[in-house]
Structure 1
Amino acid sequence: MAPTFKVRKSEDRGYANLGWLRTHHTFSFGDYEDPAFDGFGTLRVLNEDVVEPGKGFGTHRHREYEIFSYVVSGALEHKDSKGNHEIIRRGDVQFTTAGSGLAHSEFNASTTEPVHFLQVWNLPSNTQLPPGYETGHYPDSSKKNRFATLVAPAKKRDRVDPGHPDVGKPVAIHSEFWMSAALLDPGVEVVYKTTHVGEGKKGQSHPRRLYVHVVQNNPKVKVTVTSNEAADEAPEITLSEGDGVFVEGFDGQGPGLVVRNDGQGVAEVVLMDLS
């Protein structure tokens, strides 16, 4: 069975401009509610945030969710109730397991430049996990014209072959969730094939869900997404900056997902692979 595709256009996302914060919401969040987009599998939040210099999110509490930030540009300062204090920059993924309860704050560490990042919330497989914190660093070289794995299940991350000298082991998450990122030059095509297909009832293969997001940092980008089936069977999806596409029924034994940069300049693409 071929995978299905559903496009999420950037302009259709939730949006708020609070002066100090400009944010787009792929899913319902805060005052933005859309019953058609309340989540996707265990993925509950995907916000694309730009925070003005010296501003940010004051101390607030979270429970249960695992929350992480993918920095696109600028410097993001993190503090939490467990004593963690760090400034993360481009290439960094800052990951927090809220678990049984954690308070944290996130501020733009610069007084002159905005910080642009993706904020992701995912539901872990178990509740009441001990609060935790981890940071991974993945330079641009590790993502150039390839998908680098940034986040992987805690019990499986040590099995991930980095495939590149600049890639460290993925950040550990407590669910069947994987996140990768790629920086594609114009004309470059990469194929993503998951090896994470789970087992459903009676040992049957349980297909995966994928979400492909084009980072909003290049207005001339044009990303084409399709599966590598026969051309007359597979639709071609065209994405601009800020757009995304939901892919369901993705079987690791079947066709791969083809992602190609048909635009000008580098396309920064984030891919989430979940059950």
Structure 2
Amino acid sequence: MLTVRKSCDRGHADHGWLRSLHSFSFAGYRDPRYMGFGNLRVLNEDWIAPGAGLGQHGYRDLEILSYVVSGELASRDCSGRVQSVPAGCVQRMGAGAGTTCAEFNPLPDRAAHYLQIWIDPAPRDRAPDGAQVPGPARRPAGRLHLLAAPAHAALDGPAEPSGPVLAVQADVRLHAGLFDGPQAAELPLDPARKCYVHLLRGSLEANGHPLAAGDAVFMLQEECLRLGRGSAAEVLVFDLAA
């Protein structure tokens, strides 16, 4: 079963310094139909104004992925250490038993455009940790690249030929890729799991269904995802626990 959700149906918020589109219920946006999908809880598309950001705040028992599209995103931990995530990279923060940080745009003249992704972890109450890898913009186009996988699979499985994989403490695999013109890819799926497709930009077909920027696909009991007929497309694919 495959269901398409259009970009215009997402929730939205505009705080001046932060503009956000919500794929799932978050903060002031609540829709009982979209409280998450499998163990994917949040997917926000955010724009932080130049020089702006959010002060110190806490997280607990979340796997948080920051997928930076353009500009730059920075975070400051409770010790004052600053880590920057440039465009084209993906950062993982495992909040574990609890951590605090401030997130901000360090650039004075350009917005930070990124996706903030929250995933339910298993197990919980681990020590906080994190890492960073190149996203699809820094890898070959025309294929899906594995960016994140359960820790045991990412560390013990075969090396991903196009680059490193984030080891997450959750039953999820995140793939992403760039597609244009005749480029196409297939991803085998386990019908007992869930698959969520988010088209970040451009246009693309998923199993024959046309998608525009911001559209999403919910897939249940499917055996294969087929992507093609893209135009400047950047797509994320989540293979999720049911």
The residue number in structure 1 matching 2:222 is 250
Following superposition, the deviation at residue 85 of structure 1 comes to 2.1
Correspondent of 2:131 among 130, 134, 145: 134
Deviations 1:47-79 (A, max 9, x none): 000111001121100111111100111110111
The TM-score with structure 1 as length reference comes to 0.83
Give the equivalent residue in structure 1 for 2:209: 237
SS in 2 for 1:155: helix
Q: Report 1:71-220 matches (<5 A).
A: 71-81=68-78, 84-138=81-135, 140-158=137-155, 159-164=157-162, 167-168=163-164, 170-194=165-189, 197=190, 207-216=192-201
Tell me, yes or no, if the aligned pair for 2:199 and 2:211 is still in contact at 8 Å.
yes
Task: Please state how far the C-alpha of 1:186 moved relative to its aligned partner.
Answer: 2.0
Contact 1:261 1:267 in 2 (8 A): no
How many corresponding residue pairs? 240
Structure (1/2) with the larger strand percentage: 2
1:111-169 Cα deviation digits (max 9, x unpaired): 001111010000011121111121122462414111111111001103144233xx12x
Q: Which amino acid aligns with 1:176?
A: D
Output the TM-score relative to the length of structure 2: 0.94
Provide the aligned C-alpha RMSD in A: 1.6
Paired residue for 1:200?
none
Equivalent-residue separation in structure 2 for 1:160 and 1:268 (angstroms): 25
**How big is each residue's C-alpha offset from its partner over 1:211-246, in whole Å with a ceiling of 9 and x where there is no partner?**
111114xxxx321111xxxxxxxxx32110011101
Amino acid at match of 1:149: L
Aligned-residue sequence identity (percent) comes to 36
Letter of the aligned partner of 2:187 in structure 1?
Y
Structure 2: stretches of 5+ with no match in the other structure: none
Q: Displaced runs of 4+ in structure 1, greater than 4 A?
A: none
Deviation at 1:103, TM superposition (A): 0.5
User: What is the distance in 2 between the residues matched to 1:62 and 1:241?
Assistant: 30
